[in-house]
Amino acid sequence: MTDRTEFTRRRLLAAAGAAPLALAAGRVLAQVAEGQPMPAGVELPPLPGERMRWAIVGLGSFAIGQVIPGFGEARQSRMTAFVSGNPAKARDLGARHGVSRFYDYADYDTMRGDDEIDCVYIVLPVGLHAEYTVRALEAGKHVLCEKPMASTSAECERMIAAARANDRQLGVAYRVHFEPTNREAKRRIAAGELGAIRHVQCDHGFNANPRFPPHKWRLEKALAGGGSMFDIGVYGLNTSLMMLEGDAPVAVSAVYAYPRDDARFAEVEGGIDWRLTTASGVNLTGSSSYCYSPYVSRQRYFGASASIEMQPATTYDDNNLVMEGGGGPRREIGAGNPMTQFAAQVDGFSEAARAGRAHLTPGEMGLRDLRLIEAMYRSADAGGAVVEL
């Protein structure tokens, strides 16, 4: 039987001991209620009205599946307009994403008077890049253009000239420069973790299906500009040069590598194997193809003391980095969510445009790559002769 007096005494003692704690807690709550000062060094998201405002030109599968969702994660950028030849699709997407300004290709130039558009993202087939980029620049808008920049180096030069004449920024959407796994590979290479780079190998391709609309236009020269090297091989070329920043190409050679009687390739090349030499003597070898199955996206960087393999290397959502050598075992290195590359790319461009400085992947980079691809085609047309750059 419990002693009622002892029970009551214990409760009183416990209550008495808790009183100072309760008082202390009350003081903490009062302090919190009064509010705390802004922590130093915390980056605040910009207000919606401070973000750069974008028009998306072209609402195909890539724009809908990757570009538009990327804006949902962006901190410096927001969509305010869609440009499409399909008004119903544009308005449906607008309702989903809070976009209320719509243009078609007939009234495209009237964007000049729209103060709710700062930047334009060109997501059209390659053959239309130059025209719609120049017109947007002349309308006073900054332009981020999908890769490859244009159908010819001459078109690239015209685009760059239009940007300069109108004092606007021009960038090429080489999203891999903003993708965390590739950025980690670049960091390790720049830090010397592989030693001196000796060789780079890259392979990119897929099996083109002319009955699939997103593939169909890629097989038509007027829209595609060129073949597999324009569309998929440019990833290997541009990403490899990204990793060897500052080591300029000096020579290139190439041969065609596809069945010449394949009806799919009546207008564009279906595959090419290429070799590029840099000023320091590093050789880059690559292949690009519309005949590979399954989809191939692979980059390899061989150094004097270690190597990196990325497979897949340049996809939208599933890149991988494996490192060997350097005093450690073979190890897989994680670096972040690849999907962040889309938001990071548009935010990077917004920041550059606002500050009046060149984008990380400017028009001059797109021109360089087009000149290299044109040199590859000249070499392949000459049976693989070396073309000095």
Catalytic positions, written as ranges: 147, 235
The residue with tokens 């199955």 is 293
Within 8 A by CB and 6+ apart from 41, the residues are: none
| Per-position DSSP letters for 129-152, written without gaps between them | HHHHHHHHHHTT-EEEEESS--SS
Q: How many CB atoms lie within 10 A of CB 36?
A: 7
* Separation CA 78–CA 8 (nearest Å): 65
Adjacent-strand bridge partners of 378:
none
* Separation CA 366–CA 353 (nearest Å): 18
Within 8 A by CB and 6+ apart from 272, the residues are: 227, 228, 229, 233, 254, 255, 256, 257, 258, 287, 288, 289, 376, 377, 380
* Separation CA 131–CA 149 (nearest Å): 11
Q: Residue 273: what residue type?
A: D
- DSSP state letter for 384: S
Rg over alpha carbons for the chain, rounded to the nearest Å, is: 27
Tokens of 364: 């001059």
Tokens of 214: 């997103």
Within 8 A by CB and 6+ apart from 167, the residues are: none
Within 8 A by CB and 6+ apart from 292, the residues are: 203, 205, 206, 207
